[in-house]
Amino acid sequence: MVDAFCGTWKLVSSDNFDEYMKALGVGFAARQVGNVTKPTHIISKEGDKVVIKTQSTFNNTEISFKLGEEFDETTVDDRHCKSTVVMDGDQLVHVQKWDGKETTHVREIKDGMMVIVRFFTVVYKKKKKNSSLFIWWLYLMTLITC
């Protein structure tokens, strides 16, 4: 249930975030800012909508959505996405799609911390007869606690 995610969460550690941003195509200067930023996520419910505010010294964003319904999202790195967020068991799964690309943010609560694992999916097609598809996943695990 979304209620478990409601509250204020401060970033305490991040692994492989620079690699994740590189895969997304984020430029060098923006990556340097992203690597030193320690954002706060404020998650709340307002009626039948979930609101996620991300606040930092460099930028603030807010998204508001109904679970399972697609919505337009402009990300902190200025990607214009079609996004969907669903509950999958105890996980809050956020999928962003833009320009034929896709990234997934999986949030879950572990030992009183919100853990966000991010996947950027790239599909490669082998160039020869009877080709098969290869999927490459780059992931990021971010630990956030109150």
pLDDT tens profile 23-60: 888 889 989 988 888 999 999 999 999 999 999 988 89
Tokens describing residue 76 = 């902190």
Q: In which element (H, E) is residue 36 found?
A: helix 28-36
Show the domain range for 90: 2-145
- Helix axis angle for 28-36 and 17-24, nearest 10°, is 150
Residue 21, classified by CB atoms within 10 Å of its CB into exposed (0-12), middle (13-18) or buried (19+), is buried
Number of domains in the chain: 1
Output the domain CATH number for residue 73. Answer: 2.40.128.20
132 pLDDT above the threshold of 80: no
pLDDT tens profile 94-116: 999 999 899 999 999 999 999 99
Residue closest to 5 by CA, chosen among 142, 140, 115, 119: 115
Angle among Cα 93, 96, 100 to the nearest 5 degrees reads 140
